[in-house]
Chains A and B, each alone.
Chain A
Amino acid sequence: EVQLVESGGGLIQPGGSLRLSCAASGFTVSSNYMTWVRQAPGKGLEWVSVIYSGGTTYYADSVKGRFTISRDNSKNTLYLQMNSLRAEDTAVYYCVRGIYGSGTYYHAFDIWGQGTMVTVSS
C-alpha cells in the first residue's frame, strides 16, 4: 500500500528547532518529487517546500532560509528541518507526493500523509 506517515511534531518555543520526518511505503521517495504542505488552525493550505528526484529544492518565501527539506534514500524518508520557528509556523504539516508519470511532471499532488501538528508557543 502506498502510504506516507509523518512524525516529529510537537510543542516548541519560538526560536527553537524541530525536524519532521515522513516515512514512505509502497513507493520510492527518491524517484518522485516530494513536498510539504501546511495548514494553520482554522486556515487554508499553504505550500511549503519541494524536493525533486535530482535533489533540487525550492521553498515558499515564508520559510526560505529557515526550513530545509531533505531525504534519506536508505530509509525512504523525507524530512523537514525547521529552524528559528515563529508563532506563525504553528500548523499541521502534511507530507505529500507529487504526481509524475511517463516522464511527465503534472505539478500536482496525489498521496497525502495524515499530518503532524507543530505548535510554536512559549
Chain B
Amino acid sequence: QTVVTQEPSFSVSPGGTVTLTCGLSSGSVSTGYYPSWYQQTPGQAPRTLIYSTNTRSSGVPDRFSGSILGNKAALTITGAQADDESDYYCVLYMGSGIWVFGGGTKLTVL
C-alpha cells in the first residue's frame, strides 16, 4: 500500500517563504512520478497550481514553484499572502493509470 506523505499543517508569516513537501512512505519521489500540486479553500473545488514537477498551471502566479528537494517533491510559496491560506494537496502518478494523493497540508498565514 503506497502512502504519499505531506505535512499535516504548516504556518508562514505574511511575506515569508514556505516549502511544503510530498514524499513516499517507501522510496524517493522523482520526476517520473509527475508530481502535481493543488490548492483548495473550504467549500471550493481544488485549483491546479503545478504539474509535471515544476510547470505552473495557467494563471498561477510565479511565487508558486515546484521542484524535487532531496527525495521529495516540493511546493514553495515565496512572499506568502493572506489568501494563500488553504489546503494544499500533492498527487503522484504511480503508473498504469493509478494516482495517489497525499493527505494534504493545511497552510496558515499569520
Interface, chain A (partner B; CB < 8 A)? 35, 37, 44-47, 50, 52, 56-58, 60, 94, 99, 106-110, 112-115
Interface stretch (choices B18-26, B77-85, B91-99): B91-99
Per the bound structure, the CA–CA distance linking A45 and B102 in Å amounts to 8
Number of interface residues of B (CB under 8 A): 26
Contacting pair B103 A58 (CB below 8 A): no
Inter-chain CA distance A110–B55, complex, in Å, is: 12
B108 to chain A, nearest CB (A): 17
Q: Is the CB of A108 within 8 A of B51?
A: yes
Q: Which residue of A lies closest to B45 (CB)?
A: A112
Residue of B nearest to A111 (CB): B48
A108 and B52 contacting across the interface, CB-CB below 8 Å? yes
Cβ B34 vs Cβ A108 within 8 A: yes
Residue in contact with A45 in the complex, picked from B46, B51, B52, B57, CB distance below 8 Å? B46
Find B48's partner among A56, A57, A112, A113 (CB 8 Å cutoff).
A112
Q: Which 10 A-B pairs have the closest CB atoms?
A: A58-B97, A108-B51, A108-B36, A107-B93, A107-B34, A47-B99, A112-B45, A44-B104, A45-B101, A106-B52
Which residue of A46, A107, A113 is within 8 Å of B45 (Cβ)?
A: A113
**B19-62: which have CB < 8 Å to A?**
34, 36, 38, 40, 45-48, 51-52, 55, 57-58
- Chain B residues whose CB sits within 8 angstroms of the CB of A37 once the complex forms: 46, 101
Which residue numbers of B lie inside 8 Å of A, CB to CB? 34, 36, 38, 40, 45-48, 51-52, 55, 57-58, 87, 89, 91, 93, 96-104
Q: List 23 A-B contacts (CB under 8 A).
A: A44-B102, A45-B91, A46-B101, A47-B91, A47-B98, A47-B99, A50-B99, A52-B97, A58-B98, A60-B98, A94-B45, A94-B46, A106-B51, A106-B52, A107-B34, A107-B36, A107-B93, A108-B36, A108-B91, A109-B38, A109-B48, A112-B45, A115-B45
Q: B48 to A110, Cβ gap below 8 A?
A: yes
The answer to whether B101 touches A47 (Cβ under 8 A) is yes
* A45 touching B45 in the complex, CB below 8 Å, given contacts A58-B98, A107-B99, A108-B34: no
A24 to chain B, nearest CB (A): 15
The chain B residue sitting closest to A48, CB to CB, is B99
